Each structure stands twice: as C-alpha cells, then as structure tokens.
Amino acid sequence: MDASQRERYSRQILFPPVGERGQERLCAAHAVIAGCGALGSFHAASLARAGVGRLTIIDRDYVEPSNLHRQFLFEEADAEAALPKAAAAARHIARINSSIEVRAAVADLTPSNVEDLLGNASIVLDGTDNFEARYLINDFAVSRGIPWVYGAAVAAYGLTMPVIPGRTACLRCVYPEPPSGAQPTCETAGVMGAIVSAVASLQVADTLRILVEGEVHARITTLDVWGGIVRQVEGPARDADCPCCARREFPHLEEKARPPVSLCGRNAVQVRGSGALDLPALAARLEPLAAVRVNEFALRAQLSGYDITVFADGRAIIKGTDDPGIARSLYARYIG
C-alpha cells in the first residue's frame, strides 16, 4: 500500500479492527456483486470507497426512472439512456475510486457462466431479487468454499445473513425449498429507500469483517425501518442432512435446472437466447418496423405494443406482459 492509499483510507485505518494490515487485505480482495439494483448499487459504491481492490458487478437489467429513488449509484441520465446497470455502475465507480479494478458483466448469472463470474471471488454479495439466483450462488459458493452475504428488502422490511461455507449454516439449511405461494415484490408492495440502504450497509459491514478478519457473527438480522424494529437471532446450526453443505449436492449448478424464461417481477419477462447477437445488424433489420435505440450494450424498441430490450448476449427483456408464451412469441418474431 503506497502513501496515497494510506492517506485516502486513513480514517478507516484508524479504526483498530481494520488497521493497516486489514486495509492491505481489502486492497488485495476481489468482491463480486451479484445484482446491481437497489442493494447491489449500494454495495458497489461502498466497497469502492472502502478500497476493495477488485470488483465484479453482474446485472442483466437496465436503468429505469422507477429505480432512481432507491438505487443510489444511478442518475437520471443513466435512465434516459437505458444503460445496463452493470455498465452504468462501472462508470460511476471509476469516478469514485480510479485506483481499483472494476469489471462490468452485463449478463444473467447462470450455471454456464458462474465459474467465469464468481470463480476468483474472495466474497460474493447478494443483490439479486429471486431464490433461483440465490440457490445458484449458494451451490457455487459452498462447492468452492467462498463466503457470501445474503440480503433481501421489500416494502419497509429486510433481512441479511452471512454464509461462510464449512462454518455457518448455508442458505439451504435455512430455506431447504424456496418460499411457497405468492411473495411480495417491489412491484406489488413497493419499497422504501431506507430499508435498502440499511440492509446493504449490514451486508457491506459483514463483507468487510470477513475480508479483514476471516470471520463474522453468524446472525440473521431482520429490520422494519417503518416500525423502527431491529431483531437479531443467532444463525441456526448447520443442518447435518443439508443437501448442499452436508451431502454436497449442487443441482443448481446444472444447466437443466434453469428455466428458459425468467419472470422479472415487474410485468416483464426475460427470454434467454441461444447466443451472442450482432446488435447493429439487428437494429438495421428492425428500423423499418419501429424507432430503434442501440448502443454497445443493448438495443431497445417498441414493437407490437411491447417495450423490448435486447442485449448482446442474446437475452431480451420484454416489458408489458407477464406471459412467457407471449414473450417467446415476440422473441421468435422479431429476433429469431
């Protein structure tokens, strides 16, 4: 660590549990942020300011005006340009701390790319919005012995839990199966910016302690910022028959475990394509049919009354329906 870094992080270094040795560990660490929405954008900014030397930011979505009240890293210009969240985040992080390395992955985290995206991580932070992605993270993290920090927030309620493979309960010890029945989402129940920052701050604090000390209190923390309630309970003991961390079964790492279409929870459907696309060529094909906006990351057009955003990796988010059949049909009609 050079003199400029010592000055930059001097107030953090003065905190005895961190110190200069801890700051050096942070500067050498690689944190992966899975999902760069409300939680993940806060993770990215906080870890960049703390001096975590390498960040990988993964997100499949783009910035919209409705994100701006709670996704603290983004600006109106990002929404106006419909920039992919990972790319927009990387640009802002470069202005926050130009001394760290940032990788933006405009992608859906899947079994086929999880090794590339998470394989060299020191720690993974959960900024996702669905259990499918969390079970994938959990399977990979446990299989590789990589710590990760689970978090969720909706309305004014949130929770967080650190997972250190081999030492704490994993996600499937706590949730052997995903919650049943209809679950509240930000689209149906709304969300307060305050709960997002509170949960994300706790996740970042756990992350820094794990990176500095290699340990953390294995607690489940729940918060209700509207009711002013904070509860902490000791994390459960590891399940001796957990299919993941005890029996070492990792079905979510198998590609067949992933459905071809994933609902995004906001009257939109994601359709996974079969491979990379030439976006300028697709734009030329669609321009006779509709006004098309295209950049290096994505193409956007209004087609048949639906807002369709196509990414270079072949995915499309089709807004205006929650019917996978309609989404598949539109994808086949306009993208092929």
Q: Which residues are catalytic?
A: 186
Q: How far apart are CA 279 and CA 308, in angstroms?
A: 13
CB burial readout 248-267, b (16+ within 10 A) else e:
eebebbeeeebeebbbbebe
Q: How far apart are CA 242 and CA 171, in angstroms?
A: 10
Pairing of strands 268-271, 316-319: antiparallel
Residue type, 259: P
Q: Please compute, for residue 176, the number of CA atoms within 13 A of its CA located in the half-sphere on the CB side.
A: 9
Q: Helix (H, G, I), strand (E, B), or coil: what is residue 109?
A: coil
- Enter the DSSP assignment of 191: B
Residue 313: both structure tokens together: 């990796």
Locus of tokens 């509170």: 198
The 3 state secondary structure assigned to 216-248 is CCCEEEEEECCCCEEEEEECCCCCCCCCCCCCC
Q: How far apart are CA 62 and CA 37, in angstroms?
A: 9
Residue 94: both structure tokens together: 């470069």
Q: Helix (H, G, I), strand (E, B), or coil: what is residue 180?
A: coil
Q: Helix (H, G, I), strand (E, B), or coil: what is residue 72?
A: coil
Q: How far apart are CA 33 and CA 40, in angstroms?
A: 6
- Which strand (E) or helix (H) includes residue 33? strand 30-34
